[in-house]
Structure 1
């Protein structure tokens, strides 16, 4: 290395921060690229910063590639090597996620980014859509337009009227995509019976009806088909243990149980009236949560209902219940295997994320599409070209 000469014509500067990053990379990875050297005089054409860092580290030997070129060509090549690298651009979304995974695995040494820079990158991904004005859940149509098997295209979002426990349906919905975040409010398994509430006048205006599959508790088959690493699953408190076991069975680790504390409890026939709803926050074992939220958040979520609901769907959540997880994680694609009234879809639109959603009930697919159209002023259509043109909610 004593025969190597720093390029006097090198226009690139290397400050202390840059040299420290190069040194850290050399310490961790060793030398993985040879220096480019002009054979006739030992002039370093490519790798001057690395040469300085190597000398500071006390190295006496390094790998080089020698070129038989004249001085003019050496100068031109030196500029070209630096300029071509400079013209490349980061895909910040991909970079942020990769760095966050490395941070989670304690593998950031020598990469050149610190935790503060990663947090800034991740925060920059959360660009919402301020033009979305959610009208709230819509009442389903008496005669649904949607048919089982229809795929709705709603801007960049996709909604399949199908079965989230069917691998074939999930594959059709994803169409090659791999959503990293799942947020869902599945049928609870509480056998919700609205008839007595309607008769007693305890429902809001309009009627509520039985939710399909509300007598089912085990949705392991649906969770297993999710390819991502982070999930938020709302559930009934009486079935919390079962839902946790289902998630653990498909390789998730429970990180927290979140509680939506309602401003008032719902009248029921039980001895205690439910004033909250729980949600499991879980991350796949050994994987990153891709967290971009701050560190001041509580497991208790005090969220007011969006509005006085006048819809048929029995258990719609406030938009914030679905929006908050999207703001806290960097995943660009969100999966909801039980879309219901469409809250996750609208939250994704607001958060600037892409929603891939499944809903087995044609009438609730219609309601979700109507809600999205009213929120965005855009028109959705199925892959076959069907629309809801001329249709208004009941």
Structure 2
């Protein structure tokens, strides 16, 4: 504040930096000081940067002051990068990004248990119910009124592997589709309105789920399709075998869905139609004056290649007073005759509406972190093998695979729901990442496996069954 009063010229050499949505990226305190000093116009510099570069700039511009959320920074950026940008980090070991590692738990060939259907286990902050994921009462009992941030599911595929530990895997086509319809509909009721949903499987069952179950949800704007992920397992079983009548399968697929409608303005340009009156006015005046967009950039002192979007709906921006006056002076009464203050007042009124709509949008937008790993829609993870096969549960998922999904779609301290917990990989990953996992498993023996696995992973966990301390049966 004092520096602005004593040296107003400072504002000219250090303009307020804003993005194309006119959101301040740098200079918030200077802007506050200017407003308090009664300034009506402030110099700004508009930058057309992607979100990643904007966040880098904000960090670099604020290294000398302010309080930081170190855990958030650690989950978004590498410690070396933050040090390079000038942040004097605290004990960063406290804030470093969490990782989930393979626990090397081996499922015994014979599992003894006293667990029965209906048993509810609390494993630290996690919950496990021995029950049916198509039973609404059972799922409600598991969730206890909570809503999940994401669901991570690996349901039966109809591959006739009940002998390998996958209950409900011998269902025929019609029964499998009905089974999927029941548990999916039920699960969506226990997801947050801005939650995310993952479902692993092989090609045909997933195509059936998408076409017959999810597509109607998407049409009703209850869900948004995001990706068909591919887990590249390496070599497919049966390659170079003359007994195969199809290409051997070396992958699994995963449907990645976000709840609700994820677009802001439901158009390709992400444009708010409240700006129409101003945009149409500027465009009509430009045409009236016979000016090209390049002419307008030149008059305003910008290069022809500058990203100034005054007249189109893609990344539209309000012209500054200096820019508007340059057009007005050039036209000399032939165009742009509205006073800038009048146009700016209209802009501010619409902007208030825009900000409210934007706040509502972001409150319904699904969480997604695309910066924690260098990744795309093809995931390369080694199979979780045992004696050269995928033994144990029929299709166990590697912990790093579960980690990627959880980090991407579940915020810190969030809740992950798994309707088919199997050998417990989702819970193991969630625990290491400090997320909660609520899981359902129909097979009592696999419930026992999950409990034993979690106890080995973290011996400090308190485990109860139906509210009473639980000790594994001998």
Q: TM-score range with shorter-chain normalisation?
A: 0.5 to 0.7
Q: CA deviation at 1:365?
A: 0.9
SS at match of 1:180: strand
Are residue 382 (structure 1) and residue 472 (structure 2) matched? no
Query: Distance between the aligned counterparts of 1:240 and 1:264, measured in 2?
Result: 21
Contact persistence 1:210–1:314 (CA under 8 A) = yes
Q: CA deviation at 1:304?
A: 0.8
Alignment partner for residue 191 of structure 2, among 218, 224, 227? Answer: 227
The equivalences for 1:37-186 within 5 A come to: 50=32, 52-53=34-35, 55-57=38-40, 115-116=55-56, 120=73, 123=76, 127-128=97-98, 134-136=103-105, 138-139=107-108, 142-186=111-155
Alignment partner for residue 365 of structure 2, among 282, 288, 305? Answer: 288
SS at match of 1:325: helix
Are residue 211 (structure 1) and residue 167 (structure 2) matched? yes
Partner of residue 308, structure 1:
386
Are residue 342 (structure 1) and residue 325 (structure 2) matched? no
RMSD of Structure 2 on Structure 1 (CA): 4.0
- Sort the Cα spacing of 1:137 and 1:236 in 2 relative to 1 into closer, same or farther, 3 A: farther
- Sort the Cα spacing of 1:368 and 1:230 in 2 relative to 1 into closer, same or farther, 3 A: same
Contact persistence 2:131–2:442 (CA under 8 A) = yes
The equivalences for 1:238-257 within 5 A come to: 238-245=204-211, 246-250=213-217, 251-257=222-228
Are residue 274 (structure 1) and residue 243 (structure 2) matched? no
CA offset digits 1:230-282 (Å, max 9, x no partner): 12210121122212232343422221111111123235986233211111111
Q: CA deviation at 1:346?
A: 0.7
Please give the TM-score of this superposition, normalised by the length of structure 1: 0.63
- Sort the Cα spacing of 1:351 and 1:174 in 2 relative to 1 into closer, same or farther, 3 A: same
Query: Distance between the aligned counterparts of 1:377 and 1:319, measured in 2?
Result: 19
- Sort the Cα spacing of 1:314 and 1:270 in 2 relative to 1 into closer, same or farther, 3 A: farther
CA offset digits 1:35-88 (Å, max 9, x no partner): xxxxxxxxxxxx9975731622359xxxxxxxxxxxxxxxxxxxxxxxxxxxxx
Partner of residue 203, structure 2:
237
Contact persistence 1:140–1:367 (CA under 8 A) = no
The equivalences for 1:311-330 within 5 A come to: 311-330=391-410
- Sort the Cα spacing of 1:187 and 1:58 in 2 relative to 1 into closer, same or farther, 3 A: same
Contact persistence 1:179–1:335 (CA under 8 A) = yes
Aligned residues: 296
Q: CA deviation at 1:292?
A: 1.7
SS at match of 2:456: helix
Query: Distance between the aligned counterparts of 2:250 and 2:109, measured in 1?
Result: 27
Runs of 5+ unmatched residues, structure 2: 3-9, 24-28, 43-50, 60-71, 78-94, 263-363
More helix by share: 2
Contact persistence 1:165–1:222 (CA under 8 A) = yes
Query: Distance between the aligned counterparts of 1:374 and 1:252, measured in 2?
Result: 38
Q: CA deviation at 1:371?
A: 1.2
CA offset digits 1:149-202 (Å, max 9, x no partner): 1111111111111222233222222223221111110111233365xxxxxxxx
Contact persistence 2:162–2:170 (CA under 8 A) = no
Contact persistence 1:337–1:359 (CA under 8 A) = yes
Query: Distance between the aligned counterparts of 2:365 and 2:109, measured in 1?
Result: 38
- Sort the Cα spacing of 1:180 and 1:140 in 2 relative to 1 into closer, same or farther, 3 A: farther
Runs of 5+ unmatched residues, structure 1: 1-5, 8-14, 29-46, 60-107, 109-113, 195-207
Contact persistence 1:247–1:253 (CA under 8 A) = no
Please give the TM-score of this superposition, normalised by the length of structure 2: 0.53
- Sort the Cα spacing of 1:129 and 1:378 in 2 relative to 1 into closer, same or farther, 3 A: farther
SS at match of 2:368: coil
Alignment partner for residue 297 of structure 1, among 366, 370, 375? Answer: 375
Query: Distance between the aligned counterparts of 2:169 and 2:96, measured in 1?
Result: 35
Contact persistence 1:261–1:275 (CA under 8 A) = yes
